[in-house]
Amino acid sequence: MQTWQECAKTDFGVELSSTQAEKFDLFLRELLEWNQKFNLTAIRDVDGILIKHFLDSLSVVMAFPEDWKPQSMIDIGTGAGLPGIPLKIIYPKARLTLVESIKKKAGFCEHMVEVLGLTDVIVSSARAEEIGQDPTHREQYDLALARAVAKTPVLVEYLLPLVKVGGLVVMQKSASAKEEVDASRNAIRLMGGKLISILPVKLPGIEDERYLVVLEKTKPTPDEFPRRVGIPAKSPILN
């Protein structure tokens, strides 16, 4: 049976250097240790973390055009730093912003940035709506990410304002991905995006359906989006 690192290479084309593999080992140890004190993630076993967290995070590269590497990334609702930190490990030169409103999870992210020696990383506890209206972040990123944060119409309003024209949004979704995308077409259009693909993701030993919903930013997002804190979730833009 392949190791998770071998799966990363064969399934997603990601070959880890020895230094990168060491960083993932350290990330694993710290996550296991912190999870005993804080409820960072519901997945607490080694194999679960390696497959459902690390390998799942690296699956995001399936959404990238050939030979494309993000120079800047933002991960909304990152939790314990997923998928942002795994992607930073494999793209060490990329600028990364991790956004997590729960302080203990943001604290873990700050700890991991320090322990792993990651540079050019910001950890923010601001809300996604605030980040999206902040000129420091608005339309400043090549890639915006979210994993199990909210329904797609809400995520579209969080994420598309953050990427430059020509940038990508990648949302990691479960079995309801296609249905959620169908409900999001108006929001995608209003935010200046277009749907590129809905890619199925297969992880070893995992039967659950997983997908990458990939959007491209084709024009600037109107100034009124994202709306005030709480409004996108309370009143999502539906078709």
Residues 168-202 pLDDT 10s: 999 999 999 999 999 999 999 999 999 999 999 99
User: Cis ω on the peptide bond leading into residue 135 (within 30° of 0)?
Assistant: no
In a domain, residue 29? The reply is: yes
> What confidence category does residue 217 fall into, taking pLDDT thresholds of 50, 70 and 90?
very high
- Inside any domain, residue 93: yes
Q: Look up the domain containing 88 and give its range.
A: 4-220
Three-class secondary structure of residue 4 per DSSP: helix
Residue 169, domain CATH: 3.40.50.150
In percent, the amount of the chain with pLDDT more than 90 equals 92
Residue 228: inside a domain, yes or no?
Answer: no
Q: State yes or no: pLDDT of 128 exceeds 80.
A: yes
d(CA 231, CA 44): 33
Give the distance, in angstroms, between the CA of residue 227 and the centroid of all CA atoms in the same chain: 21
CB 24 within 8 A of CB 16: yes
Is 229 among the domain residues?
Answer: no
Is position 18 within any domain? yes
Asked if residue 155 belongs to a domain, the reply is yes
In the prediction, which pLDDT does 177 show? 96
Spatial distance between the Cα atoms of 95 and 118, rounded to a whole number of angstroms? 10
Check: CB of residue 195 under 8 Å from CB of residue 217: no
Residue 65's pLDDT is 95
Q: Is residue 236 part of a domain?
A: no
Categorize the per-residue pLDDT at 20 as very low, low, confident or very high, splitting at 50, 70 and 90: very high
Counting the structural domains of the chain, the total is 1
Which tokens sit at 233? Answer: 């979730």
What pLDDT, on a 0 to 100 scale, did the predictor assign at position 239?
Answer: 82
pLDDT tens digits along 25-56:
999 999 999 998 888 888 888 999 999 999 99
pTM of the predicted model as reported, rounded to 2 decimal places = 0.97
Indicate whether 227 belongs to any domain.
no
